[in-house]
């Protein structure tokens, strides 16, 4: 009980303020809490990178997919309460930072060099794909959130886009399983596309630039874009990479648009005002900084070294985040998704291929 003198009329009772000296103790407590899950996610990421590198000559599987599969296999261990704060930290803190650092991969000059016609074609293809993801999900009785994941992952840059989109989506049942499934599915479809799309380009009589545009505008993951493009020729590969980077640049407006859509639609009890995620602001700022880098003069070499370290940090951050996602996902959850999930991702893949190819044929 408070003393009576504190409860007299006209006197205001205030809660005791926390002692500033408690901050170091609270910080240490938070670090101790997240450390086990963060360490486990990092170990999975390191193991995945090593395995992906060792099997690359026979099975060129991206490290992110390997990390996801290892994480899912270790889910029975990771679901213990000890690891939950750390894996949650990876998804809520490490992931946004890693996505923001992707901005250092983009230079606006390269995008401008594409030309307005190519840029419009790519944007139309992406928009049609995202809308198709939402429509397929509705037709097949799935959540709109899964449709957005499938559409954005196909339209932008595969697993990285799925992870970025998950940040702005509402929480719902089986969300982690949906993100994990999309990451695996788009990689599998990208591998098929890498082998098939150069053949389609040759059959349609596309020249080197058109082939590069088609490959860069349709294949999900950057690695497979590189493989398919340079399999045709160096000019084709160069065009394909630039077009692909334009799609990565559009990750920012796409993710913001998805967040706006779900907020406006009030899907699954989303409430509150539309807000711009900090990672999106960071992505844009870093993209502008990277574009201005040639004008830095004597500081340019120093910036190049910092940029290289940040890109490496982004790569590892994404790898750790997807490891944490796998650790929070069970095989049973993936297996329960069913054929409708496969159909939606396959459908969005067909849509982006059809729209981009049709556009190139019309412009030829």
Distance CA(64)–CA(67), nearest Å, equals 5
Give the model confidence (pLDDT) of 14-59 as tens digits: 545 555 556 677 778 888 899 999 999 999 999 999 999 999 888 8
Judged against a pLDDT cut of 60, whether residue 6 lies above it is answered with: no
Range with the lowest mean pLDDT among 47-51, 185-189, 200-204? Answer: 185-189
pLDDT of 37: 95
| Cα 17–chain centre separation | 41
* Alpha helices for 169-233 (secondary structure H): 175-203, 208-218, 222-232
Nearest to 263 by CA among 271, 252, 253: 271
Above 80 in pLDDT, residue 153? yes
Please determine, for residue 275, whether its predicted confidence score (pLDDT) is greater than 60: no
pLDDT at 72 over 60: yes
Percent of the chain with pLDDT over 90: 43
Range with the largest mean pLDDT of 22-26, 171-175, 268-272: 171-175
Classify the phi-psi angles of 8: left when phi > 0, otherwise alpha if psi is within -120 to 50, otherwise beta.
beta
Burial class (CB in 10 A: 0-12, 13-18, 19+), 103: buried
Mean pLDDT of 165-182: 89
Q: Give me the residue spans of the domains in the chain.
A: 61-78+85-363
Tokens of residue 208, six digits:
């080197």
Query: pLDDT tens-digit profile of 291-320?
Result: 888 787 888 888 999 999 999 999 899 899
pLDDT of residue 102: 82
The region of weakest confidence among 3-12, 151-160, 181-190, 337-346 is 3-12
Residue 230, CA distances (Å) to 113, 197, 214, 236, 250 in order: 19, 12, 13, 6, 23
Contacts (Cβ under 8 Å, ≥6 apart) of 195: 228
pLDDT per residue as tens digits for the range 83-110: 999 999 998 899 889 888 888 887 888 7
Q: Which residues of 67-83 are buried (b: 16+ CB within 10 A; e: fewer)?
A: bbbbbbebbeebeeeeb
What pLDDT, on the 0 to 100 scale, is given for residue 21? 56
Q: Give pLDDT, residue 19.
A: 55
Residue 182 and residue 349: Cα distance in Å, rounded? 12
User: pLDDT grade, residue 249 (50/70/90)?
Assistant: confident
């Amino acid at each position: 009980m408070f003393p009576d003198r504190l409860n007299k009329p006209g006197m205001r009772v205030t809660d005791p303020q926390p002692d500033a000296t408690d901050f170091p103790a609270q910080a240490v407590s938070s670090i101790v809490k997240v450390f086990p899950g963060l360490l486990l996610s990092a170990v999975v990421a390191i193991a995945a990178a090593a395995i992906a590198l060792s099997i690359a000559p026979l099975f060129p599987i991206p490290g992110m997919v390997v990390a996801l599969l290892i994480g899912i296999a270790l889910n029975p261990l990771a679901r213990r309460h000890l690891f939950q704060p750390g894996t949650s930290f990876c998804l809520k803190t490490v992931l946004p930072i890693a996505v923001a650092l992707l901005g250092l991969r983009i230079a606006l000059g390269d995008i401008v060099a594409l030309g307005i016609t190519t840029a419009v074609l790519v944007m139309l293809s992406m928009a049609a794909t995202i809308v198709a993801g939402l429509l397929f999900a509705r037709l097949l009785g799935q959540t709109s959130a899964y449709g957005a994941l499938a559409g954005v992952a196909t339209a932008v840059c595969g697993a990285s886009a799925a992870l970025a989109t998950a940040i702005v989506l509402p929480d719902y049942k089986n969300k982690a399983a949906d993100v994990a499934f999309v990451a695996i599915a788009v990689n599998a479809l990208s591998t098929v596309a890498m082998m098939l799309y150069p053949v389609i380009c040759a059959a349609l009589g596309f020249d080197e630039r058109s082939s590069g545009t088609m490959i860069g505008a349709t294949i999900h993951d950057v690695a497979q874009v590189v493989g398919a493009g340079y399999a045709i020729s160096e000019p084709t590969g160069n065009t394909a990479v630039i077009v692909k980077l334009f799609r990565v640049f559009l990750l920012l407006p796409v993710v913001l648009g998805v967040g706006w859509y779900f907020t406006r639609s009030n899907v699954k009890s989303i409430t509150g005002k539309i807000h711009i995620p900090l990672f999106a602001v960071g992505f844009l700022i870093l993209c502008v900084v990277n574009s201005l880098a040639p004008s830095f003069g004597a500081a340019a070499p120093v910036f190049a070294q910092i940029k290289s370290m940040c890109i490496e940090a982004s790569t590892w951050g994404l790898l750790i985040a997807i490891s944490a996602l796998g650790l929070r996902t069970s095989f049973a959850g993936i297996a329960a998704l069913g054929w409708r999930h496969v159909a939606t991702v396959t459908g969005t893949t067909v849509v982006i291929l059809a729209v981009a190819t049709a556009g190139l044929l019309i412009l030829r």
